[in-house]
Structures are given as structure tokens and as C-alpha cells.
Amino acid sequence: MAGSCQPPRRRQGQAAHRHPPAGATIPRRMLDQLTAPVLGAIAAHLGTDPAALRPLLAPPAKGFAADIALPCFQPAKGAGKPPPALAAELAGVVNAAGLGATATAAGPFLNLSFAPAATAAALATPLAAAPAALRSGAGAGRRACIDFSSPNIAKHLAFHHIRSTMLGNSLARMYTAAGWSVTRINFLGDWGTAFGRLISGWTREGLTLDQLQAAPDQVTFLNELYVRASQAAKADPALEEDARRWSKKLEDGDAEARHLWQVFKDASLSEFKRVYGLLGVDFDSWKGEAYYEDKMGPVLAELEAKGLTSIDQGATIVDLPKLCGKAFKIPALLKRADGGTLYATRDLAASDDRFADFAFDRSLYVVDLGQSLHFQQWFAIAKLLGRPWAERVRHVGFGIVLMWNDEPGEGLEPGWAKGRTRNGKIMLLREVLEEAIERADAIIREKNPELPDAERAKVARAVGVGAVVFNDLKNGRTNDVKFKFEDALRFDGETGPYLQYAHARLCSIERKAGAAAVGDPALLAREDEKQVLLAIARLTAVLDRAVEADEPSILAQGLLTLAGAVSVWLSAGNKDHGARVLGDDAALTAARLILVRAARIHLAEGLRLLGLDAPERM
């Protein structure tokens, strides 16, 4: 018993969830198709299993002109030879086999180079097949619940909400692409003492529905009401008592309280959906905290019946240090001294509900790292309860948003700070997106004046929003995101617009080419063409890694590599007209159009998986 509910130490938690993919029907690693013959020859020579060699393959070090390298340390141990000798021996074996691959021994490493034509012959046609672009069967037959965004009613979607919202959205899309069946859940903060204050303030000020609806922004209207009400309550204990009474009435199902609660919720949701629409985000479930209000009693009763709870200073707690050992320093709080329930109980009830509805194999909570302790606590309680899903839940944490502050005040250095902008205002997500769209519009107007107004408006939305979203996803999620308006809304360098631009160039070439001819991939003999092909071929493995680590940034980095290879290839045509896709040689053009298509569909799909649009012109 002891230790069974311990929180995962460091990264062990991830490994515990890993298990072999069920029913992988789609070819998972395109690159394997290329390396298989060579690996087979080496394995036959050594008398081992090719599958044992495959995980050893690694990218070659910079400066070695090779596509992939096999470090020979481990095989050498098996063969009883020094690694450099074995590498040399294997080089001879590969070169003699005539497989379209050149092998060079560099010390203990065996460097493998594939002839561009052989690479293209093996990979180009399958990679240009649209339905398979960025698909994997790794999650086939498995179900995932993803809990993300989760804003509070009567408050704005602040800029920092972009983190949970877009990480969750991207994870939902990536899991789906990897074969999982996904349910997207928005666990609304639609319950709590704040509503008592709101209703109290509303009735005290004698506000009406008409006044709310006439407000230019209903969430702002509610938010200001809340600020007035809580300030008034702070000054006057009678008002605080009134707020508490309304909270209780709401909990007891009082008709007037319930009605106002619904009004506040509807007003907030319509505003949220505007922003979600801008971001292209949607949900399958909007069940909020209120939904679970009458479902926590049974969970508490079960905890008590199993003797897991105790009373401390009037509050109901689970004494985790006692029950789970010294991994926990403090108990988890389930119920306030005044009888009110706390959110650990609500999360337990909600997870039971989700497991009953969806029978998930994995359940993700995309919530900032500041709540790590809370997740460790209720995950541990789930184990104590013996819940079958207790090993299937994951807290997908992320770092906070820091703003640049160059006037921090007396005696403070300019620097990165949490929270507000320099004028002390909360930055709203909608305002950031709108400014990004405006900036994108101005740039497109300058760079591509021929684009019709109507199309430019749509493209500006895709580019502006894409810049902000990609800025949030391109780096590891546990990092804090540093946001500076001027930097985040620039469109050069490693940005969303860079990826979209590479995609638009490819679309432009296809447009000019007209109907796609069926070319012979073996004509793709250039080194830069091979690099594009390899970058695409690696993406299925990249997707699998991104899903297992719950890390959209892994996919983002893979797409940057692909877009870079595409840009190098297409730019080569600026100087060398023989390198162009659209040239005099019809057969060569037809072959290169296969590669254009493969790169285009992978960039478009990759961008979609991150939550960005891929316009055909920009």
C-alpha cells in the first residue's frame, strides 16, 4: 500500500504511460523504407536482427556529408571487434551490396549516404499521397480526453489563455492524426464564491438585462461589476455577508440566483466563442464546474467510507503524508470548515464522469505548471480510491507568459515580468489577435499589392493569428513565454508566417504548372531535393514523438526544418535556372512537381495540426 500513491518523480511519469502501439496499420516511419535494405544487409552480415540495429541510427554530426549514421559501439561488442574495425568492415559490405547507398567509415561510425535518385524512388511517390500526409497509426483504437482552455465565466480571455487553448487544440489535432479518438473538453469555471458577489452587486445596484445587453462588451460589463462588488464588500462586512447569502442561494437552486447565473454564463460564452472562432478552436464538451456540483457528495462519501479522510481544524482532508509516505509534505484539502467543497473533489468527480462516458486510455489536463501540486494530490487520491483510470491521467503543464516591462518603477531594472503591460492593464487575447491581424494586413498590402481586398482580409487573419499562435508553440511548453509586442508580431525568421510563406511559394508553382503530370521520381537527382524529401520522411516519427511527449513544439521544429529545406531548394532556382521546377525539360518538371506536392501537403497538414491556416497566397 505504502508508495502506491506516490507522485511520479521527475520524468518517470511519462515512461510509465508508454506502451506498445495497438494496430499500427499505416506505415509509421517513412524513413525505414529507405534504410531497410541497408540495415538488412548489415544485419545479415552480423547475424543479428535488423530491428535491433534500427534504434541505433542517428543523424550524422555536422561536417560529415551523410544522411544517417550507425554508431558501431554496441554491434562491435557483440562481434568482439574494435568499433572502428567493424565500421570499416561494414562499409565494405554495404558498398558491395549495390543498394544505392554509399557507406564510409569515420572512426567508430558508419556513415550512410543515399543516392538522391534512389531516395526519391523509394520515398517521393508515397510522400506525395495526400491522405497519408502526417498520419500515424500509433494511437489506433485508443481514446483520449483533453481538458484545455477552461476560462472563468465573467472574466475575459486574457492573453495568457492562449497557452492552454492552443496547446490543447494542437494536442487534440496531433492525437487525432496519430489515430487516437479524441474528446475536447472545456471545463468552464462557472461556479464559486465570485458568483455570490456578482449577484449581490447586481441586485444592490438594481441592474437590468437591458443594461447588460446594451453594453459594448458584456464581459467587461460583468468584470467591472465584479470589481465594484468586491471592493464594496471589502469595506462593508454586511455586503460580504450578502454575497455569501447569494452563494448559498445559488447552491440551493434558488430560481432568481440561477437565472442570473445563466445570464452571466451566456454573456461570457458568446464572447468566448468569438475568440475561439478567430483561433479556429472548438470543443466537444462544455461541462463546467457547476455540472459537478451535485456529483461530489458520492465521491466524498466513498472517501469517508474507505477511511481515507480526516478532519483537521474543521476541514476535511486526505492525509497524504500519512497515507502515501514522505513524498507528500502536506495533506490535500477536500472540504472547507464551512462545508463548501474544494476543487480536488470536483476534479475527481469529473474524471469519474469522463471515464464513464468515454472510457479514455489517456486523459490530459493542459494547465499551467503552478498547479502541479494540485494534480499530484488528486491523482494520488484517485490511486488510493483504486480508480482504474488513475494511471491514465496526465498533467500537461506549461510555463507562464511574461511581458516586457521597460518602466517597472522605482529602483527596478527593466525586464521580463509576469502579468500586466507597462500601463498596468491586462492584455486581452482578442486585442492581441486583432493587432496581429492589422499588422499582417499592412505587410501583405505592401508585399503583395495585387491580392484582392477580400482575399487579403482572410489571409491577414491567417497570417496574423498564425504568428501569435506559432510564437506560443514553437518552444518547449514548460518554458515561460516571453511576449514583446514588437518581437512577436514580426514575420521574419523562425515564425508561423515563414512556414506559411514556404507553403504559399509551393502553391504558386503548382498554380503556374497547371495540371500535374505524372513524373518519374528517379529524376530527382539534386542534393537539395533529397534534403526536402528526408525532412518530409522524418515527419511521421516526429509526430509520434510529439504525441508521446505531449509537445507540439517537436512538430513545430520539424516543420521549420522542412520549410528551411524547401526555401533552400526553391532559392537555388534564383541563380541556377536549371534548378527550377518550371523549366524547359518537361520530364524533369513533372518529377519536381511530385516533390512540390509532397512538401506542400505536409506543410499544410503540419500547420493545421499546430492550429494554423495555410493560405495558398499571401
Residues numbered 282 to 301 that lie near RNA (CB under 7 A) are 289
Residues 6+ apart with CB under 8 A from 516: 510, 590, 593, 597
Pick 182 or 439: Cβ nearer RNA: 439
Contacts 24+ apart (CB under 8 A), 327-336: 327/6, 327/7, 327/9, 328/7, 328/376, 328/377, 328/380, 332/377, 332/378, 332/380, 332/381, 334/300, 334/303, 334/309, 335/300
For the bound state, the minimum distance from the C-beta of residue 494 to RNA, rounded and expressed in Å, comes to: 4
Question: How many C-beta neighbours within 10 Å does residue 406 have?
Answer: 9
Residue placing its CB nearer to RNA in the complex, 278 or 315: 315
Q: State phi, psi for 454 to the nearest 5 degrees.
A: -65, -45
Q: Stretches 178-186, 197-205, 235-243, 565-573: which one binds RNA (CB under 7 A)?
A: 565-573
Binding-site size for RNA (CB under 7 A) equals: 104
- Residue 526 Cβ vs RNA, minimum distance, rounded to whole Å: 11
Applying CB under 7 A, among 119, 165, 183, 553 the residue interacting with RNA is 553
Interface of this chain with RNA, residues 365 to 424, rule: CB under 7 A: 369-374, 397, 399-400, 416, 418
Contacting RNA (CB under 7 A), which of 581, 601, 607, 614? Answer: 581
Out of 250, 579, 590, 601, name the contact with RNA by CB under 7 A.
579
Chosen residue from 287, 431, 557, 608 binding RNA by CB under 7 A: 557
- Decide: helix, strand or coil at residue 443: helix
Q: Enumerate residues 340-359 that contact RNA by CB under 7 A.
A: 340, 342-343, 346
First to last CA, the chain: 61
Q: Using CB under 7 A, pick the residue from 23, 253, 297, 314 that binds RNA.
A: 314
- The least CB distance from residue 38 to RNA, in Å, is 14
CB of 475 to RNA, least distance (A): 3
**CB closer to RNA, 122 vs 367:** 367
Nearest to 544 by CA among 174, 13, 183: 174
Q: Which of residues 443-502 bind RNA (CB under 7 A)?
A: 443-444, 447-448, 459, 463, 474-476, 478-482, 491-494, 497-498, 501
* Binding of residue 138 to RNA (CB under 7 A): no
521 CA to centre of own chain: 34
Q: Are 250 and 199 in contact, with CB atoms under 8 Å apart?
A: yes
The least CB distance from residue 62 to RNA, in Å, is 3
The set of cell numbers assigned to 565 is 529545406
Burial class (CB in 10 A: 0-12, 13-18, 19+), 18: exposed
Candidates 124, 396, 428, 504; binder of RNA (CB under 7 A) is 504
For residue 100, which of 127, 131, 121, 77 has the smallest C-alpha distance?
121
> For RNA, which is the closer residue by CB, 19 or 329?
329
Which CB atom, from 143 or from 249, has the smaller least distance to RNA? 249
| In the complex, minimum distance from the CB of residue 306 to RNA, in angstroms, rounded to a whole number | 19
Chosen residue from 317, 433, 535, 559 binding RNA by CB under 7 A = 317
Which of 228/580 has CB closer to RNA? 580
Q: Closer to RNA at the Cβ: 18 or 425?
A: 18
The answer to the question of residue 6 lying near RNA (CB under 7 A) is no
b/e map of 26-52 (b: 16 or more CB within 10 Å)? eebbbbbebbebbbebbbeebeeebee
CB of 209 to RNA, least distance (A): 27
Backbone φ/ψ region at 252: left (φ over 0), alpha (ψ -120 to 50), beta: alpha
Binding string, residues 241-280; x marks residues near RNA by CB under 7 A: ----------------------------------------
Min dist. Cβ of residue 331 to RNA (A): 5
DSSP 427: P
| Window contacting RNA (CB under 7 A); options: 160-168, 213-221, 270-278, 337-345 | 337-345
Q: Which is nearer to RNA, 444 or 524 (CB)?
A: 444
All three cell numbers of 278, joined, read 478567430
Single residue of 336, 438, 457, 587 touching RNA by CB under 7 A = 336
Integer Rg of the chain from CA? 29
Residue with Cβ nearer RNA (400 or 525): 400
CB closer to RNA out of 106 and 212 = 106
d(CA 90, CA 75): 11
The DSSP secondary-structure symbol of 6 reads P
Among residues 605, 583, 589, which one has the least CA distance to residue 503?
A: 605
Q: Closer CB to RNA, residue 56 or residue 207?
A: 56
Q: How far is the CB of 54 from RNA (least distance, A)?
A: 9
Q: Does residue 586 touch RNA according to CB under 7 A?
A: no
Residues from 57 through 116 that contact RNA (CB under 7 A): 57-64, 66, 69, 71, 73-74, 106-109, 111
Which residues in 162-201 contact RNA (CB under 7 A)?
A: 189, 192-193
Piece of 52-60, 93-101, 141-149, 406-414 that binds RNA (CB under 7 A) = 52-60
Residue 352's SS3 state is helix
What is the DSSP code string of 182-245? EEEE---B--SHHHHHHHHHHHHHT--HHHHHHSSSHHHHHHHHHHHHHHHHHH-HHHHHHHHH
Q: Which of 571, 578, 585, 586 binds RNA (CB under 7 A)?
A: 571
d(Cα 170, Cα 472) in Å, to the nearest integer?
11
Distance CA(586)–CA(590), nearest Å, equals: 6
